[in-house]
Amino acid sequence: MAENLTYKRFGEKAILIEWKSVIDDFILNDILIYKEKLLVNKNVDFIDLIQGYNSLTVIFRSYINDFKKQVSILKTEYKSTQNIKEQKYYQWEIPVCYDLEFGIDLKEISQKSNLDIQEIINLHSEVVYKIYFIGFLPGFLYLGGLNERLYFDRKPNPRLNVVKGAVGIGGMQTGVYPNVSAGGWNIIGKTPIHFFDLEKEVTCFAKAGDFIKFKSISLEEFYHIENEILKNKYQLIKISTDA
């Protein structure tokens, strides 16, 4: 367990719980265990739990009348030694086409970083990324593990329409746009995979604690997979991390 968590009011119906301000696997695991305790024990009357890199926001069903009492209950839950169900985590293989048709910022990144385009693709696709949380947009995964050589500042003037499936780099992070949206990340490719689907019971296949591995594919492979998805014939490759 972490020491010195802070508990702050976050509006009239929420409490913000904060860990040390770093991106860290220990902190991620601690947050995931805390979330599971709250979900399983049901001693706190909340309607939502919002996770960040080093925070957990508890949204309560009603107004918080006694802040100190509620914090005391939360602290008791955190220290609880009750066994919780062990979660299963997976590594998901995500096909990405880095062709210049989709990787519209690859040339700029190459010129400014002194890396050739194939080297950028190799550096981006060789890493196994850990999912820390989902946010910004439904299905937008915040990933840890980007190679430092690919750190690249966000665009000073964000695009108004970034296409669904666009794979981008922004600062020290990389991620996939799950839907069309405005965005200032540098676009290096595109995946045909849907990261958010309202028609499915589980709207996003991945979760915090899972891993993402990007696989470089050709334009031909991209359109083939896209067609298979339309026919509901494509099956994502996943590997249990317990294996």
Final residue belonging to a domain, choices 79, 103, 123? 79
Residue 24 has what pLDDT?
85
> What is the spatial distance between Cα 1 and Cα 29, in angstroms, rounded to a whole number?
10
Query: For residue 106, how many other CB atoms are within 10 A of its CB?
Result: 22
Same domain assignment for residues 29 and 100:
no
Give the CA distances from residue 149 to residues 101, 182, 202, 209, in Å, rounded to whole numbers and listed in that order: 23, 25, 35, 24
Angle, alpha carbons 207-209-212 (nearest 5°): 75
Same domain assignment for residues 24 and 94:
no
74: three-class secondary structure by DSSP: helix
The residue segments making up the domain with residue 13 are: 6-79
Global confidence as pTM = 0.84
Residue 1 has what pLDDT?
65
Would you give per-residue pLDDT tens digits along the chain (243 residues)?
666 899 999 999 999 999 998 888 899 999 999 998 998 888 888 998 989 889 999 999 899 989 999 999 999 999 887 767 777 899 999 999 999 999 999 999 999 999 999 999 999 999 999 999 887 777 889 899 999 999 999 999 999 999 999 999 999 999 999 999 999 999 999 999 999 888 787 788 999 999 999 999 999 999 999 999 999 999 999 999 875
> What is the spatial distance between Cα 242 and Cα 224, in angstroms, rounded to a whole number?
31
Residue 3 has what pLDDT?
65
Contact 212, 143 (CB under 8 A): yes
Contact 76, 123 (CB under 8 A): no
Q: Which residues, other chains included, contact 103 with Cβ-Cβ below 8 Å and sequence gap of 6+? A: 117, 187, 188, 189, 190
45: three-class secondary structure by DSSP: coil
Residue 92 has what pLDDT?
96
CB hemisphere CA count around 1 (13 angstroms): 11
Token pair recorded at residue 36: 């599971």
Q: What is the CATH number of the domain that holds 188?
A: 2.40.100.10
Residue 223 has what pLDDT?
97
Query: pLDDT for 167-204, tens place per residue?
Result: 999 999 999 999 999 999 999 999 999 998 887 877 88
Token pair recorded at residue 47: 């309607």
Q: What is the CATH number of the domain that holds 54?
A: 3.30.1360.40
The candidate with the shortest Cα–Cα distance to 239, out of 206, 201, 195, is 206
Q: Characterise 41 by phi-psi region: left (phi > 0), alpha (psi -120 to 50), beta (else).
A: alpha
Query: pLDDT for 45-72, tens place per residue?
Result: 899 898 988 999 999 989 998 999 999 9
127 domain residue, yes or no: yes
> What is the spatial distance between Cα 243 and Cα 238, in angstroms, rounded to a whole number?
12
Same domain assignment for residues 192 and 164:
yes
Residue 57 has what pLDDT?
94
Query: For residue 199, how many other CB atoms are within 10 A of its CB?
Result: 6
1 domain residue, yes or no: no
Final residue belonging to a domain, choices 79, 114, 144? 79
Residue 2 has what pLDDT?
63
Give, as one character, the DSSP assignment of residue 65. S
Give the CA distances from residue 190 to residues 39, 95, 143, in Å, rounded to whole numbers and listed in that order: 35, 8, 16
